[in-house]
Chain A
Amino acid sequence: MLSYPTVRTSLAFLAIAVVGLAFADISITAANPWRDLGNFFLGVVTPNFFSSEGLLTALLRTVAFAFVGVALGSFFGFFLALAYRSWPVRTFCAFIRAIHELFWALIFLQFFGFHPLTGVLAIAIPYAGIFAKVYSEILDEADPDPGRLLPPGTGRISAFLYSKIPDCWAQMRTYTAYRLECGLRSSAILGFVGLPTLGFYLEASFSQGLYSDAGAMLILFYVLIATLPLWVRPRLIPFYVLGAPFFLGEGLPIVWGNVQRFFTQDIIPSPIRNGEGVAGLMSWAGDLMVEQALPGIWNTVVLTQVALVVTGILALLAFPLISNHFGGPVRRTTGHILLVIGRSTPEYILAYILLQLWGPSMLPAVIALALHNGAIIGHLIGKQTNTLQLRPDATTGFSRYTWELVPRVYRSFLAFLFYRWEIIMRETAILGILGIYTLGFYVDSAIQNIQFDKAMILILITAALNIGIDTLGRFIRRKLALQTMPTC
């Protein structure tokens, strides 16, 4: 077994996670965690759809922000994709997608305030970076022959429209539709920083202990995502995109003085602003590194590694739930519902709920990250096993799982896991806003203390860390010759 590079890599990551666990803070601090969890589930099974008139508005805003953000992101991402060969564009895209939607929202909140533009840009900017990358990959894979056969003298635009776009159209459309689902999740969690989407009302209901209201909101959100193919029809999309900007709400007007102050004063490191010279700047940067950046990086990395391995274990345990190599239709339907819930619930919402119930520690964050990402990978791997044809006399039960299925899907399982490594790290950093000591915690604290200069540096460090993990993940996938398609 140890002669397989995939097994060796897995064991190395497992070992890192076990060591990380020794350093991680994984206690349950709430006085009565199980009773709270019980109350929450009671709330979910007794949803109250009629308590607050804000519920439907929140849903409408969530959809509107998702549509506008994803549409803008896809529009600009497409044009960035055309120039993706040039390294400044590639670096720019890697940078804007390495910063989480919530961080973008926190930045824009400081100068646009609660204007709809804050939410729209928070989604559109990182999504443009992701769209640029994926679109350019799709365009690169188009069949080059038709382009070569065009008569010489054909204009570049005509050539592009005839020989590239039709070939890529279906794939680009599928990916964009898939991103819309991700956009709905992003839009929902923007509420946690005060925008008028689902997260805002979820937080409000939770803080008042109105679990039935929170349950109703979650159920409506699942229904919204599960019925996506029904209400998002190609013919209706132009109407949604043109109509969505009118449903973003009024928000608060932009104070342009704030915008100017933010760029000319707030984000300038305070020693420079106060003319303290190089020595002042050095000690400021040193303090920032030792007191905030390094502990933040350490906690983010530890939590990411533990969450990554737990995600993997959960995905391997979860995929038989929907695999048609085991059990009957009843179990598979239940499995599908469980996995849909797992992957439709943003990890941020899961972490928020668990944190409310269990108190602040790394445990709720690990569980939340593993539930969401494990459900996504489990779903993809489970679907893959359904395409496998086993010999008629193949063993059944647990032996079938260990001997027939896991060896066959293990490589693509690892591919998905390493693809999501960077996504898990981005989320880990952001969960700090909820009070776990990852980078997001220090960013959020700096913003609370009106130290935007520090916040910006910490966000840049987070972005650099994400780009680093993304590069490492791609290196390992290439080393192990693993291939995958993008997931979000």
Chain B
Amino acid sequence: MSGFDLSGLTASFGGERVLGPLSLTVNPGDQIALVGKSGAGKSTLIRLIHEQVGRKSSLVPQELGLVNALPVFHNVFMGQLDKHPTWYNTLTLVRPFAEDRTEVKALLKALGMDEKLWIPTASLSGGQRQRVAIARAIYRNAGLLLADEPVSALDGPLAHLVMSLLTERFDTSLIALHDVDLALKYSNRIIGIQDGQVALDESSHRLSPADIMGLY
């Protein structure tokens, strides 16, 4: 499954509706950038979609959800725990297999941090932690990527590197971004959220930064 069709999405907080009701159809091949000012409901929408499409998606939540005490390797490897029997996973916890080591290391190299493979994630910087969560999502290799501000802690060149890697690895994706240039460059469709509603839904190449700025 890579596309989805959801309707009647709503979310309330403290009795007050913060999102929806809205409908959303995502087709295979849609690489969507979700934009809107903070508090508009982007994170809530991503969480709702994640709940709805089952867990058949790779998710990069804003809070990352890393296991701080484990090294980078194991945090990435967690993306494929379902692919191996329990004994294999348990052994990997003590001593990873060479095959997995190579694969994870190659992935981290693409993200520019393969030298951190055995460092506990607790001692990494914010940007490095973000890339570990991204590596886990890529390693998970689901048909759909849901990501909430995945490059917020990365500097310019690195943000571009990671975004192009994500568009290359995932045909279908929904990524919340606050950076308008990144949104235009790494998507083919843009959805703008304003006051909990879809205020903009257009192909990226028909939009200019000025069109999007109207949402802020």
| Interface membership of A157, Cβ < 8 A | yes
B81 x A149 contact (CB < 8 A):
no
User: CA A161 – CA B55 in complex, angstroms?
Assistant: 20
**Best-surrounded residue of A148, A150, A170 (most CB of chain B within 10 A):** A150
User: CA A152 – CA B69 in complex, angstroms?
Assistant: 23
A149 x B59 contact (CB < 8 A):
yes
Q: Return the CB mask of B178-198 against A: 1 if under 8 Å, else 0.
A: 000000000000000000000
Shortest CB distance A29–B (Å)? 57
| Interface membership of B74, Cβ < 8 A | yes
Of the listed stretches B22-30, B60-68, B102-110, B123-131, chain A binds B60-68
A150 x B69 contact (CB < 8 A):
no
**Count of chain A residues with a beta carbon within 8 Å of a chain B beta carbon:** 21
Q: A146-B78, A150-B81, A158-B81 are in contact. Are A166 and B89 (CB under 8 A)?
A: no
| Interface membership of B93, Cβ < 8 A | yes
Which residues of A (169-204) have their CB < 8 Å from a CB of B? 169-170
| Interface membership of B169, Cβ < 8 A | no
Give the residues in chain B near A169, CB-CB below 8 Å: 69
Give the residues in chain B near A143, CB-CB below 8 Å: 65, 67
Q: Return the CB mask of B41-61 against A: 1 if under 8 Å, else 0.
A: 000000000000011100101
| Interface membership of A163, Cβ < 8 A | yes
Which residues of A (213-253) have their CB < 8 Å from a CB of B? none
A148 x B65 contact (CB < 8 A):
yes
Shortest CB distance B106–A (Å)? 20
A158 x B86 contact (CB < 8 A):
yes
Shortest CB distance B107–A (Å)? 16
A146 x B67 contact (CB < 8 A):
yes
User: CA A150 – CA B61 in complex, angstroms?
Assistant: 12
User: CA A233 – CA B82 in complex, angstroms?
Assistant: 36
A166 x B67 contact (CB < 8 A):
yes
**Best-surrounded residue of A146, A167, A169 (most CB of chain B within 10 A):** A146
B55 x A151 contact (CB < 8 A):
yes
Q: Is chain A's interface secondary structure helix, strand, loop, or mixed overall?
A: helix
Q: Return the CB mask of A413-447 against B: 1 if under 8 Å, else 0.
A: 00000000000000000000000000000000000
Q: A155-B89, A161-B93 are in contact. Are A150 and B70 (CB under 8 A)?
A: no
| Interface membership of A53, Cβ < 8 A | no
A145 x B89 contact (CB < 8 A):
no
Give the residues in chain A near B82, CB-CB below 8 Å: 150-155
User: CA A161 – CA B61 in complex, angstroms?
Assistant: 22
User: CA A145 – CA B47 in complex, angstroms?
Assistant: 12
B90, B140, B142: the one within 8 Å of A161 (CB): B90
B56 x A149 contact (CB < 8 A):
no
Q: A158-B86, A161-B93 are in contact. Are A151 and B65 (CB under 8 A)?
A: no
Give the residues in chain B near A158, CB-CB below 8 Å: 81, 84, 86, 89-90
A152: nearest chain-B partner, CB-CB: B55
User: CA A424 – CA B83 in complex, angstroms?
Assistant: 52
A166 x B69 contact (CB < 8 A):
yes
Which residues of A (239-274) have their CB < 8 Å from a CB of B? none
B67, B78, B90, B140: the one within 8 Å of A167 (CB): B67
| Interface membership of A461, Cβ < 8 A | no
User: CA A154 – CA B63 in complex, angstroms?
Assistant: 21
B54 x A146 contact (CB < 8 A):
no
A152 x B81 contact (CB < 8 A):
no
Q: A152-B55, A152-B82, A169-B69 are in contact. Are A157 and B61 (CB under 8 A)?
A: no
A150 x B67 contact (CB < 8 A):
no
| Interface membership of B79, Cβ < 8 A | yes
Shortest CB distance B136–A (Å)? 8
Shortest CB distance B61–A (Å)? 7
A149: nearest chain-B partner, CB-CB: B65
Give the residues in chain A near B86, CB-CB below 8 Å: 155, 157-158
Give the residues in chain B near A150, CB-CB below 8 Å: 78, 81-82
Which residues of B (76-128) have their CB < 8 Å from a CB of A? 78-86, 89-90, 93
Q: A157-B86, A162-B70, A166-B70 are in contact. Are A145 and B81 (CB under 8 A)?
A: no
**Best-surrounded residue of B61, B80, B89 (most CB of chain A within 10 A):** B89
Give the residues in chain B near A154, CB-CB below 8 Å: 81-82
Shortest CB distance B159–A (Å)? 22
B71: nearest chain-A partner, CB-CB: A166
A170 x B81 contact (CB < 8 A):
no
User: CA A305 – CA B31 in complex, angstroms?
Assistant: 69
User: CA A151 – CA B84 in complex, angstroms?
Assistant: 12
Known: A152-B56, A155-B82, A162-B81. 16 other contacts (CB 8 A): A145-B61, A145-B64, A145-B65, A149-B59, A149-B78, A150-B81, A151-B83, A151-B140, A155-B85, A155-B89, A161-B90, A161-B93, A163-B67, A163-B78, A166-B68, A167-B69
B-contacting residues of A (Cβ < 8 Å)? 143, 145-146, 148-155, 157-159, 161-163, 166-167, 169-170
Q: Can you list 8 A-B contacts (CB < 8 A)?
A: A145-B64, A145-B65, A146-B78, A151-B140, A153-B82, A155-B82, A161-B93, A163-B78
Closest 3 interchain pairs by CB?
A145-B65, A153-B82, A166-B69
